[in-house]
Amino acid sequence: MEGTVFGPALKELEHVKSEHGEILSKHFLEVCKHILPVIDKFGTALALVKSDIGGNVSRLETMYSSNPSRFNYLYSLVQVEVETKTAKSSSSCTNGLLWLTRAMDFLVALFRNLVEHEDWTMYQACTDSYNKTLKKWHGWLASSSFSVVMKLAPSRKKFMEVIGGTGDINADIGKFCTTFSPLLEENHKFLARFGLDDMKAS
């Protein structure tokens, strides 16, 4: 494999903003899709996270494809639902963007842990990231199942070898987290303006 598995996502991130600094729907969703092969390398441990991300990406893509010029900017997908008062529905694009952003928060925290805490096991890195990000939004059942599947995570050494390819994996992870985090932060701020950033899992 040429470079690391983060290569395609890093390339896509170069195009994620318009010249006016707005997040573009198509490119943001592409970045998220490029992270799916990284999650694959975790095996069953992150299968739930992967299907959650995949589901939310397709929900947002479906809406975007229905009218690409109208939904060129990511937040236009939310604005239309705020106007029609459908944003809080569990099948809304707003809900999809919120959970997609939260899942990505978890992954960014996990990738950071892998680079910054070389002495941690994969289980420690996953658990710490989960506690910092997704846990407060999950009910008891989701939290319990999460801690069970985390135990199935591959060994840290094996995982880093698999995702490293021929590139500098630590540098690519650092670059991805630094570039992607501010976009996730923007999503939270935008959703918070409409009181939509604190919806919990039903």
Name the DSSP letter for residue 130: H
Q: Tokens representing 152?
A: 């199935």
Q: Are 33 and 84 in contact (CB under 8 A)?
A: no
Report CA dihedral (154, 156, 160, 161) to the nearest 10 degrees. -70
The answer to whether residue 26 is domain-embedded is yes
DSSP secondary structure string, 104-140?
Answer: HHHHHHHHHHHHH-TTS-HHHHHHHHHHHTTGGGS-H
The answer to whether residue 180 is domain-embedded is yes
Q: How far apart are CA 37 and CA 96, in angstroms?
A: 20
The answer to whether residue 66 is domain-embedded is yes
Q: Tokens representing 120?
A: 């941690």
Give residue 56's pLDDT.
97
The answer to whether residue 133 is domain-embedded is yes
Give residue 3's pLDDT.
82
Q: Are 10 and 176 in contact (CB under 8 A)?
A: yes
Q: How confident is the model over 28-59, as pLDDT tens digits?
A: 999 999 999 999 998 888 888 999 999 999 99
Give residue 48's pLDDT.
85
3-state secondary structure of 73: strand
| Band of pLDDT at residue 130, cut at 50, 70 and 90 | very high
| Band of pLDDT at residue 2, cut at 50, 70 and 90 | low
Q: Tokens representing 182?
A: 């501010």
Give residue 139's pLDDT.
81
Residues 6+ apart with CB under 8 A from 186: 23
| Percent of the chain topping pLDDT 70 | 99
Give residue 128's pLDDT.
96
Domain range for 93 is 4-191
Give residue 80's pLDDT.
97
The answer to whether residue 196 is domain-embedded is no
pLDDT at 25 over 80: yes
- The residue that leads in pLDDT, 62 or 147, is 62
Q: How confident is the model over 135-180, as pLDDT tens digits?
A: 999 888 788 888 888 888 899 998 988 888 888 999 999 999 999 9
Give residue 149's pLDDT.
84
Q: Which residues of 1-36 are buried (b: 16+ CB within 10 A; e: fewer)?
A: eebbbbbbbbebbeebeeeeeebbbbbbbbbbbbbe
DSSP secondary structure string, 151-186?
Answer: TTPPPHHHHHHHHHTTS-HHHHHHHHHHHHHHHHHH
The answer to whether residue 197 is domain-embedded is no
Number of structural domains in the chain: 1
Question: Tokens 């598995």 identify what position?
Answer: 5
The answer to whether residue 199 is domain-embedded is no
pLDDT at 1 over 70: no
| Band of pLDDT at residue 202, cut at 50, 70 and 90 | low
**What CATH number is attached to the domain comprising 158?**
1.10.3520.10
Q: How far apart are CA 49 and CA 106, in angstroms?
A: 9
Q: How confident is the model over 68-116, as pLDDT tens digits?
A: 999 999 999 999 999 999 999 999 999 999 999 999 999 999 999 999 9
